[in-house]
Structure 1
């Protein structure tokens, strides 16, 4: 079975069998933050939007998503990153792709929707077949500050 197929099966099982798969300490009734979903990823803080990729790489799921790392509203478009080994418990990672700013701190490029893939054959040349890279492709939105 291909790794991608196993990932989809694991994701489907996590979505449909979650009640049985979640340890008692993590069940919905034990959530201490009333506005945080019990079984969906949310960043530790600040605004998030569209998921931009869920990939399984070397035993870990990587989730990338549109994110404002500086505030709780739309803006400073960057990509957040979180990892999990079970699709239930997530660890937020540093920002994956940061918005670009000029020397004055004004945004010159926002990072919008896209996707991430594992380049298993290393067709990009960014890694090796033994150590395949994660490759992100995204919409780059240049702002008026750059013109």
Structure 2
């Protein structure tokens, strides 16, 4: 900041999810949790210190603590993983890690949709007799492009998913 000539001093670094929770609480005292669903995913919530068995430090005046869950790496046999989720994880740069994030975050949404479209193209002739070659390329679809139709008017959707 000094090199840019900015007269500023950093007094706090805040995780995006914790910052979202703090902003929510600032706007409404009844807010108790924040969830990030973007490129990645995470959650944070307010917990009473008495419910945190690992806490050994001094008690905060409020009696509450923010818990940053970092739930993107949550994995459990109870998660309903599809064949697409399993294949994406296996072929990813970090197999067996960030399982929940791969299932629900924007970073991987486009790839899951691409895999579904590719299977439909091969098994159900979704695009007729031709499978668009771009569908064969990993990560060719981005979550942002997949979500655009959700915020567009119907007449704008026709040009959104151009695959050929």
Length-normalised TM-score, structure 1: 0.28
Length-normalised TM-score, structure 2: 0.26
Higher percent of residues as strand = 1
Higher percent of residues as helix = 2
